Amino acid sequence: MDGRVWNSIKRRIPHSIRRRARDWRAILKGPPAHDQLTRARKALLLSHSRISGFDLVLVPGQPHRSTDALTASFYDHQHEDAQYRQNNWLLDQVDVLKSVEPHVVVEVGCGNGRFLRAMAPYASKVIGIDWAQSPELVDLPDNVAFVRSDVVSSAIPSGDIICSADVLEHFAPRDVDVVISRFTGAGPYQHHVIACYDDGHTHLSILPPVAWLALFRKYCPTAYLADVHYRRDDPAQIVCVVSNLPSG
C-alpha cells in the first residue's frame, strides 16, 4: 500500500484505537532482549555517573579498595583520635527524629554515643549498635543500651526508628543490599545520613543520592530524599538523607 494512502487512513482512525493497537503490538512483540536491558542499564548508570561526578560502584560487587585492614580492631583504634571521639553527624537530626515521638530508637554505627545521649530524653529506650566500642560509651543514661555487633551477619534489634549517620558508605558493595534489608526489617521508620563521596580511606560504597534512594525503595517504598547537601563547604563532599519519616 502506498505510504500516503496508509497515512491518510491512519489519520481517520480514532486516537484511542491507535493507542490500543500500539499497546497490543508491544505485548505481542514481547519483552526487550536481555542484552538490550543490560545496555540500557549501563547507559543509565553512566549518565548518573557523569551528572554526579562519581564513578558508580555497582552493587553487589567488590569495593574499590581493599577491606583487609578495615576490621573492628581498626575502628577500635579510630576511637583513640580526639576528633573521632567528638564528631557525630546524627546530632543535628534529633529534632527531626523526636517529632514522631518514638518509644524505641536504634542507631546503627553509634560511634562515640553522643547521639544516644542526646536522644535519650525523647524516647523510652535508645539502643546503639557498633562493631567497635568507643571509650566514650560509659555512664550512659539508664534508658540507653549499647550492643556490640556486626549487622552484616547479625540481626538488628527492633525499634520504632532505625537511624544512622555516615555508616552505610563504610560497607562493601556486596553487603549493602543485605544491610539495608536488615535496617528496613527492624523498624517502620528509617532515617539515614549517607556520605556520597570518597574519603580516600574507609568509604567503600560511593553512590550518588539517587542510587541510595533506589536501594532503600527496594525494601521501603515510602523512602524519599529528605535532604541533599555538601559538607565542610566543599561541593565535592555530597551528603544525602534517606528517610521515610512524615515529611510534614
The per-residue pLDDT for range 170-203, each reduced to its tens digit, is 898 888 999 999 999 999 999 999 999 887 778 8
How many other C-beta atoms can be found within 10 angstroms of the C-beta atom of residue 82?
A: 8
Closest CA to 122 of 109, 148, 141: 141
Does 81 or 193 have the greater pLDDT score? 193
Does 159 or 136 have the greater pLDDT score? 159
CATH code linked to domain 72-243: 3.40.50.150
The domain spans of the chain are 1-30, 72-243
What pLDDT score was predicted for residue 104? 98
pTM: predicted TM-score of the whole model, two decimal places: 0.70
CA distance 164 to 185: 15
What pLDDT score was predicted for residue 201? 74
